[in-house]
Amino acid sequence: MLNRRKFLALAAAVPLTAVGAYAILRTPARATGFSSPLFIPGDGGPFGVLIPQGKLALVAEHGTFPLAGGKTTPFLWYRTQHQGKTYQNPILNVKTGTQLSVTLDNALDEGTILHWHGLHLPGKMDGNPRDTIGPGVQYHYDFTVNNRSGTYWYHTHAHGHTAKQAYFGLASFFIVEDEDEVALREALDLQLGVTDLPVVIQDKRLNQAGEFVYSPNPMEKMMGYLGDTILANLTPTPFTEIGARIYRFRLLNGSTARIYKIAFAKGEKLFPYHVIGNDGGLLDKPYSASEVFLAPGERLDILLDASTLSKGDEVYLRSLAFDSLEGGGMMGGMMGVMGSASLANGDAFNIMKLAVTQPSGAAQRLPARLSKVNPIKTAGAAVRAINLEMAQMRWLINGNTYQMDAFPIEVKRNTVEIWEIHNAGHSMPHPMHIHGFQFQVQSRQNSPAQVRALASHGNGRTVSDLGWKDTVLVWPGETVRIAIDFSHDFGGDQTYVFHCHNLEHEDGGMMVNLRVRA
């Protein structure tokens, strides 16, 4: 076996040299044992849907969560009391224009801070790791939700501890509604928690007691920590009963490092669906798809039309096999030798079973229009080169690793920039996330074949690149061109971060401060 010293020596080579071809093993999609009822959020308790009325206090604390099969795992959550009910990791459901007042109370034994992922906020409200608070300290948030309707989320952004805290539970959905969302819900008779299902997909390692295990070795800190048990809404091998009608799935990749290739399958045949939204909310119209990549931090809003199915049919939400392209094959091969997870990044597996138990109701028709997506005006925009690479066992952004008081990227308020994000050839996929602002993907260049096969939306873009984004997956050797409008009405300079949402990469320093000058 390759030992750690040899691995480090190979990984530090400049340029990275070939160490021999390796076989990409692909496990078959497993369809047995899907007998645990999917955990579906209610109106209280764990992941209950909460519509904030007045001030909200979230306590970050230790708890335990019951998994299917009678196992209980230590867990971290945000607990709150609201309108006479207790919630843990509530799904916050707000309307565009809502004023939120939230206090974060740190009852952990280490620092933490809460980041509102995808929201357009002043820097001090965003949850920057620079604002990490110690045990027993509070942090106050007061902001207006200006975002359009969409599936956003909130999670820990503790300096140096994001991956571990998120892995153990400090995260949940943040759903925003506007007039377009109301129109869609009424057109398709969608009900949150019944026919409109938020589903977070995660991979975990469990010990014999059924408890989560997070213990990355040095190589896993550099590559990302993978689990071999796949959970949907914290349920292993889940199933849910559906009727022969249209269902909405708000999918969130809540893993620290694993990428999913999302598909639905009936037997071995892919079952088509429609993508209606992603990170930044609804698209202009539904787009037909059968497979879409979903990287850590990204969201995918899907309509599945089950009206052609019959009672007794089964459809599986599945992650298809793909080439993880880690280090041009070199790193992925060594990861397979040295890593502890039996399920490699890129292996195929089923995530959830949908069992048709109800007959079809009234016929439904997809809306021809969902929302309006105005393109960013890029005439005269400055172009900024962003290079992702590795040196001396560290992932870097333009040669920088994270320093709390350094500002490698500075932009002017109310300006538009084009960022050309280039990933080195001997690298691995990086899901790049910007705080405080959404962007639009302009093009993909030099994409791998498996991405080009899905690029049917102009300039090398896939369906997940459409509309508004806050996280974009950049493959080895690829250049992704994005447009960002830094317009805002917040007073003074604003500080955010730009980082990889492989959370082991983030904690390892693949992050830089971004300052927007007034």
- 438-457 pLDDT, tens digit per residue, is 999 999 999 999 999 999 99
Integer CA distances (angstroms), 396 to 256, 404, 499, in order: 18, 15, 10
Considering 125, 150, 176, which residue would you say is the last residue of a domain? Answer: 176
The dihedral region occupied by 233, where left means phi > 0, alpha psi between -120 and 50, and beta the remainder, is: left
- 484-509 pLDDT, tens digit per residue, is 999 999 999 999 999 999 999 999 99
- Structural domain includes residue 340: yes
- Is residue 289 over pLDDT 70? yes
Residues 211 and 336 in one domain: yes
- 73-93 pLDDT, tens digit per residue, is 999 999 999 999 999 999 999
- Structural domain includes residue 35: no
CA 277, 280, 284, 287 dihedral sign is: negative
pLDDT at 358: 85
- Structural domain includes residue 36: no
Residues 215 and 345 in one domain: yes
The model's pTM is 0.92
What's the mean per-residue pLDDT of the chain?
Answer: 91
Domain that holds residue 345: 193-358
CATH number of the CATH domain containing 318 = 2.60.40.420
- Structural domain includes residue 28: no
CB 77 within 8 A of CB 123: no
Cβ neighbours for 75, distance < 8 A, ≥ 6 positions apart = 62, 63, 64, 65, 168, 169, 212
- Is residue 28 over pLDDT 50? no
The neighbouring-strand residues paired with 91 are 49
Residues 497 and 434 in one domain: yes
Integer CA distances (angstroms), 500 to 121, 232, 397, in order: 20, 23, 9
> Which of 30-44, 331-345, 361-375 has the weakest average pLDDT?
331-345
The neighbouring-strand residues paired with 88 are 46, 79
| Residue 165 tokens, joined | 């805290």
Q: Which amino acid is it at 449?
A: A
Measured distance CA(356)–CA(230) in Å, rounded: 22
Residues 256 and 332 in one domain: yes
Residues 255 and 290 in one domain: yes
- Structural domain includes residue 121: yes
- 320-344 pLDDT, tens digit per residue, is 999 999 865 444 444 444 456 789 9
> Which of 272-276, 295-299, 331-335, 480-484 has the weakest average pLDDT?
331-335
Considering 149, 176, 203, which residue would you say is the last residue of a domain? Answer: 176
Return the closest-CA partner of residue 427 out of 219, 223, 211, 165: 223
Residues 353 and 206 in one domain: yes
Residues 343 and 403 in one domain: no
Residues 81 and 209 in one domain: no
- Is residue 7 over pLDDT 50? no
Exposed, middle or buried by CB within 10 Å (0-12, 13-18, 19+), for 31? Answer: middle
Residues 433 and 404 in one domain: yes
Residues 204 and 315 in one domain: yes
Cβ neighbours for 32, distance < 8 A, ≥ 6 positions apart = none
pLDDT at 277: 98
| Residue 132 tokens, joined | 């990490």
Residues 171 and 217 in one domain: no
Measured distance CA(220)–CA(507) in Å, rounded: 12
CB 487 within 8 A of CB 378: no
- Structural domain includes residue 450: yes
Q: Of all helices (H) and strands (E), which one includes residue 331?
A: helix 330-338
Residues 170 and 202 in one domain: no
The dihedral region occupied by 193, where left means phi > 0, alpha psi between -120 and 50, and beta the remainder, is: left
Return the closest-CA partner of residue 113 out of 80, 157, 162: 157
Total structural domains within the chain: 3
Task: Kindly report whether the peptide bond that precedes residue 15 is cis, defined as omega within 30 degrees of 0.
Answer: yes
Considering 129, 151, 176, which residue would you say is the last residue of a domain? Answer: 176
The neighbouring-strand residues paired with 372 are none
- Structural domain includes residue 320: yes
- Structural domain includes residue 235: yes
